[in-house]
Amino acid sequence: MKKIKYLLFLQFLLLVSCIGENRKPKNDLVAEDPKIYTGPIIDMHCHAFDQIFFGGQDYTNPLTGKTYKASSTVDSLRIETLAKYEEHNVVKAMVSKGELWFDHAPEKIMIGNDHRYSVNELRERFSNGKLKVIGEVAPNYDGILPTDESLTEYFDLAVELDIPIGYHLFPGGPPGGAYFFNPNLRAFHGKPLQFEEILINRPNLKLYIMHAAWPYLEDLKALMYAHPQVYVELGVIAWVLPRQEFHTFLKGLVDAGFGKRIMFGTDQMIWVETISDSIEAINSANFLTVDQKADIFYNNAAKFLGFSVEEIKMHKNQL
C-alpha cells in the first residue's frame, strides 16, 4: 500500500513539473533576466526592393568576421523579414519602397520614399495615404551634401506635410566602399553639423539622422543639444560595428542626456539575421535600464511619429 502511495506521489510531482514547464516562455533566459526588453518594437529603418540588392550575396562583415546569409529572391526577402518581425514583436517598420510590401502587412509597414521621386510625386503619394516618411534620403552616395539646393524642396515638403524625413549620413556602404561601391562617397559627408542652417530655417522639421552619424559623436551631441527636434536611429551601426564600439557610441549619447531621442533601426537590406543582432545589441547593453531600452525600442519613435494613446495601448496589449 505504501508503495502504491509513493508511486502516486511521484506521478503527481511529474504532472506538476510538466505543467510548470508548459507555462514557461520559450526563451527562459529572456524571461529570467529583468533587463531584457520584450515589448513592442518600432524599426525606423528597413528596405524593400524590386530586385535583389547587392547581387544577392552573403555578407561577411570585415569588422566582426560574422557572415550574414542573404535572402535569395525579393519574395523570400519579404517573407523572411516579416517573419523575423513577428518573432521579435516588431509592430511597425519604416520601409523604404514600402509600397512593395504594404499590401502584405498594411498594419505594420510605414512607407518611405526618397528624393529620387519628385516633390509632386511624393505629395500625391501622401494624399493617397501611401507615404509616411521621406526617406531614406541618401544623396551623399552621389557626393551631394544636405545643404545642396536640390534638396531644399524636400526639407520644405517634410514641413508642409508634417511628416519625418530620415537622412542618411555615415557610415555608408561597406568599409572602403568609395574604392569600389560608391566612388563619390566621402567620410566627411557624414558630419551632422551640416544641418544647422537647415534646422534654424525650419524649426518644425521632423528630422531623424540615420545611423546616428557614427562616428561623429561629439558633433552629433552638439547638434542635438542645439536643436531639440533632432532624433537619431541606430540602423546598421548596431550590427556592423564591433559590439564594444557600438556600446561606447550609444553610451556617449545616453550619458549626454539624449536617451529620449534615440530610436531603434536595423537598416535591414537582404540579410534578415541583422534584425535579431540589432535587437540583441541593445538588449546586451548593461549600462541601459529596461526603461531606457523601452524608450529606444518603442517609446521614442511612438512619440516622434505621433502615435495616438489608443495605438500605443494596442501595441502594448493594454486595451
pLDDT in tens, 220-255: 999 999 999 999 999 999 999 999 999 999 999 999
The C-alpha angle with vertex 39 and arms to 301 and 33, in degrees rounded to 5, equals 125
In the predicted structure, residue 199 carries a pLDDT above the cut 50: yes
Q: Give the Cα separation of 101 and 78 in Å (integer).
A: 7
Q: What share of the chain is helix, strand, coil (3-state, %, to 5)?
A: 50, 15, 35
* DSSP string covering 238-303: HHHS-HHHHHHHHHHHHHTT-GGGEE----BSS-THHHHHHHHHHHT-TTS-HHHHHIIIIIHHHH
Residue 125 three-state SS: helix
Scored b (16 or more CB within 10 A) or e, 181-190 reads ebeebeeebb
Q: pLDDT by residue (tens digit) across 251-272?
A: 999 999 999 999 999 999 999 9
pLDDT at 174: 84
Q: Among candidates 15, 38, 65, 94, which has minimal Cα distance to 290?
A: 38
pLDDT at 24: 37
pLDDT tier at 32, thresholds 50, 70, 90: low
Q: Give the Cα separation of 296 and 179 in Å (integer).
A: 34
Q: Provide CB contacts within 8 A for 61, sequence distance 6+.
A: 67, 68, 239, 240
pLDDT at 177: 84
Kindly state the cell numbers that stand for 190. Answer: 557624414
Q: pLDDT by residue (tens digit) across 130-168?
A: 999 999 999 999 999 999 999 999 999 999 999 999 999
In the predicted structure, residue 31 carries a pLDDT above the cut 60: no
pLDDT at 251: 98
- Is residue 206 exposed (0-12), middle (13-18) or buried (19+ Cβ within 10 Å)? buried
Interstrand relation of 41-47 and 90-96 (parallel, antiparallel or unpaired): parallel
State the average pLDDT over residues 67-80.
96
Kindly state the cell numbers that stand for 218. Answer: 561629439
Contact 49, 270 (CB under 8 A): yes
Contact 163, 206 (CB under 8 A): yes
Residue range 40-315 forms a domain whose CATH class is alpha beta
41-47 β-sheet, strand order: 41-47, 90-96, 109-113, 133-137, 165-168, 207-210, 231-233, 262-263
Domain boundaries in the chain? 1-32, 40-315
Percent of the chain with pLDDT over 70: 89
